[in-house]
A and B are shown apart, each in its own frame.
Chain A
C-alpha cells in the first residue's frame, strides 16, 4: 500500500468513527434513590471514641498502636487497620469547645460515600463499586488487582492499602453493609452517645442538618440519636451550637452521602474545599473525549507513522551501493 493511500484510509476511518460517537461532557452522577448515609455534627461530638472502638469490633479490625506501651488501640489516622478515627483540632490554649481561636473541635475521618466517587471511577476492574440503590461505596477483594489507583484518586485519602500484609487488601468504611443484612445499621452511629454520628436516609439527614442550621445559637432543641429514619433511640435536649452556615458534603464534588456540620471552618478540620463538579466526571469526560471510538489515538498513530516513515533513511539502498 502506498503511503498516501494509507493516510487517506486512516483519515476516512477516523471520520467515520468520530461521527458515530461524538464526545460529550459527562455531568455529575445523581444521588441513588434509597441513599443512606451519616450526619456527623462536630459540635455534638464529645471525643469519647466509642465509634472508633465499635467500628473496630464490628469490622474485625486489629488494634493499632502509636504509643511505646501497646495497651490501647491508638490509631493516628485511618489505615489498613482502622476505618474510622476521631481527630482533634486545637488552637492556642485549646480550652473552648468549637472555637476556632483558643479552642478545640473534633472531626470524624472515614469514607464519605461520594455520590460520584473518584475511587470507583479510577478502579480499572470492578473492585470498587457504588451500590445503585443505597449508594454504599464498597470494595470487592476478589476483583482487586492491587493497583491502588483508588488510594491515589480519593480526594479525602480514604481507601488505604495494607502494606504490611503478605496478601494485602484495600480497606475503607463500607457503612457496615454486613450489619444491614442483619437488620442493623452503622455501628458508629448506633453507639454514638450524643448522636454526633447519626445514621439515616440521606434525604432525612439533609432535612435534619438544615433544621440545625436554622436554629439560633443557644436555642433549646432536641437532638436525635442512632437511626434518624427509624428513631430507634431516644433524643436528648441540648442547646444549639453556633454552626457555620454550611453542610459539608452537600455540594462538594457533587455531594457525599456522609454530610458534616461544624462550628469551626472545615478547612481547619482537614476537610478540603472542593469544587462542585466531581473529579470523576472531569476525568471521565477527558478520557472519553480522548479515547472515544479510538479516533484520536488512531489519528495520533497515523501522524506518528507518517513522521517515522518520512524520517527513516532508506538503508537498503545504501547497502546495495556498497
Chain B
C-alpha cells in the first residue's frame, strides 16, 4: 500500500514535469472527472494513478460529415492546462484538424498506429457517414468514409462516437438527407458508446475516455449507447428555470418582460422536457453561472436527441417526458380522507353498545311502570304513561 503510494506520487511528480502542471491542479482535475461520472470516493485516486502511470493509449480520431465543432469545443475546454493533458495523456496518432502533416504522410501514420496498437487503440468518430451511392459523398485519401470507418473499427479496442452527427446522424441526416447520412453505429451495425450534442460537452467525452483509461472499459451506457452519468436525466429535471415552469411563469417572446426576468422558456419551444443531457449541471466553457443555452435565454433545441434536434422546429413545443404517471397527479376519482382507524371503530362500537344497553334498560323500566300505583298518580299522568307503554 505504502509502496504503491510512493510509486504513484513519484509518477505524479514525473507527470508534473511532463505536463508542466502542478500536482494540485492535476489531482483537482482527476477529482472533477470522478465527480462528473458520479464515481464513488477513491475513484479520483485511481484515475490519478492510471493517468500518471499507464502508457498513453493510442487514439485515432476520424472526421466525416461534420463542422469540426466537437473538436473545437474540446480544444476550448478551459480547465487549466486541459489541452496539454489531453494531448499528453493520450497519444493522438491521427487527427485531421490537429495534424501538422498532410496527405499520404498522415494516412501512413494512421495505418502504422493501427498496426502497432492492434486491438488496443481507441477510435473516436466525429461526423456522420454518407451511405447513399456507395458513400461517394465523403472521401479521404480516395477512400470512402464507410470503408475508412470499417477499416479502423475492425481492430479498435473501443469505438466512441462524439457529437450528434456520428451518434445518430445529427444535422446532416435531417430531411431530405440527400447523401443518406447515417450514424457510425448504423454503419457498423451495432450500438456504440456515443456522446451526442452539438457540440457535446468536452468533459463528458474526457470523462468517458478517462474511465476507459482507468478501468479498462467504457462507462455504463443506456440503450442508445450514451453514458448514463451524462445522459440519464432530462434537461428539464435540473434546469435552473424549472421553478418558473412549475409556477406557470413563462417568457412569451424574446425580449419581453418574462424573458428578461429569466422565466421558463417552454413557450418559446424549449426542448428541455424531452432532451436527455447534463447541460444544466455541468455547463459549458468553464465560465461559471448560466453558461449554457437556456442560461443565456435561448430555449434548448434538443441537439442531443434524435428526432428532436434539427428535426422539430425550434418554436414547436416539447412533449413532457417526465410526467409519465404516477408523478404527483390526483386521480380522476380521488378517495379523500383515510379509512376508519381501529381506535375510532372501537370508540364508535363502544358508544353504540352503550346506547343499545341503555335502550334495553330503559325499555325494561318502561315495562315496570305500566301499572302505576293508583293513589299517587293523577288521572292524566296515569293515562299518558299507560298509553306510552302499550306498544
Query: Which residues of chain A have a CB within 8 Å of any CB of chain B?
Result: 46-51, 53-54, 66, 74-77, 85-90, 94-95, 97, 104, 106-107, 191, 193-194, 225, 233-234, 236-238, 268-270
Task: Establish whether residues B319 and A46, one from each chain, have CB atoms under 8 Å apart when the complex forms.
Answer: yes
Number of A-B contacts (CB under 8 A): 89
Q: In the assembly, what is the distance between CA of A270 and CA of B333, in Å?
A: 7
Task: Please give the distance in Å from B95's CB to the nearest CB on chain A.
Answer: 41
Q: Contacting chain A: which of B31-39, B40-48, B243-251?
A: B243-251
Task: Establish whether residues B323 and A47, one from each chain, have CB atoms under 8 Å apart when the complex forms.
Answer: yes
Chain B contacts with A in 304-357, Cβ cutoff 8 A: 313, 315-317, 319-320, 323-326, 328-334, 336
Residues of A near B329 (CB, < 8 A) are 47, 86-88, 106
Nearest A residue to B332, CB-CB:
A270
Q: A53-B247, A236-B269 are in contact. Are A48 and B332 (CB under 8 A)?
A: no
Among B266, B319, B320, B329, the one with the most A-chain Cβ atoms within 10 Å of its Cβ is B329
Residues of B near A54 (CB, < 8 A) are 248
Task: Establish whether residues A88 and B246, one from each chain, have CB atoms under 8 Å apart when the complex forms.
Answer: no
Task: Establish whether residues A87 and B334, one from each chain, have CB atoms under 8 Å apart when the complex forms.
Answer: yes
Query: Which residues of chain B have a CB within 8 Å of any CB of chain A?
Result: 245-250, 252-253, 266-267, 269, 273, 313, 315-317, 319-320, 323-326, 328-334, 336
Task: Establish whether residues A88 and B325, one from each chain, have CB atoms under 8 Å apart when the complex forms.
Answer: yes
Q: In the assembly, what is the distance between CA of A12 and CA of B118, in Å?
A: 117
Nearest B residue to A267, CB-CB:
B332
Task: Please give the distance in Å from A131's CB to the nearest CB on chain B.
Answer: 27
Among B247, B324, B325, the one with the most A-chain Cβ atoms within 10 Å of its Cβ is B325
Q: In the assembly, what is the distance between CA of A270 and CA of B269, in Å?
A: 31
Task: Establish whether residues B328 and A95, one from each chain, have CB atoms under 8 Å apart when the complex forms.
Answer: no
Task: Establish whether residues A50 and B245, one from each chain, have CB atoms under 8 Å apart when the complex forms.
Answer: yes
Task: Establish whether residues A107 and B332, one from each chain, have CB atoms under 8 Å apart when the complex forms.
Answer: yes
Residues of B near A76 (CB, < 8 A) are 330, 334, 336
Task: Please give the distance in Å from B225's CB to the nearest CB on chain A.
Answer: 22
Among B246, B273, B316, B330, the one with the most A-chain Cβ atoms within 10 Å of its Cβ is B330
* Contacts A46-B320, A48-B323 supplied; 20 other A-B pairs, CB < 8 Å: A46-B323, A48-B245, A48-B320, A49-B248, A50-B246, A66-B330, A76-B336, A77-B334, A86-B330, A88-B331, A88-B332, A191-B250, A193-B266, A194-B317, A236-B269, A236-B315, A236-B316, A236-B317, A237-B313, A238-B317
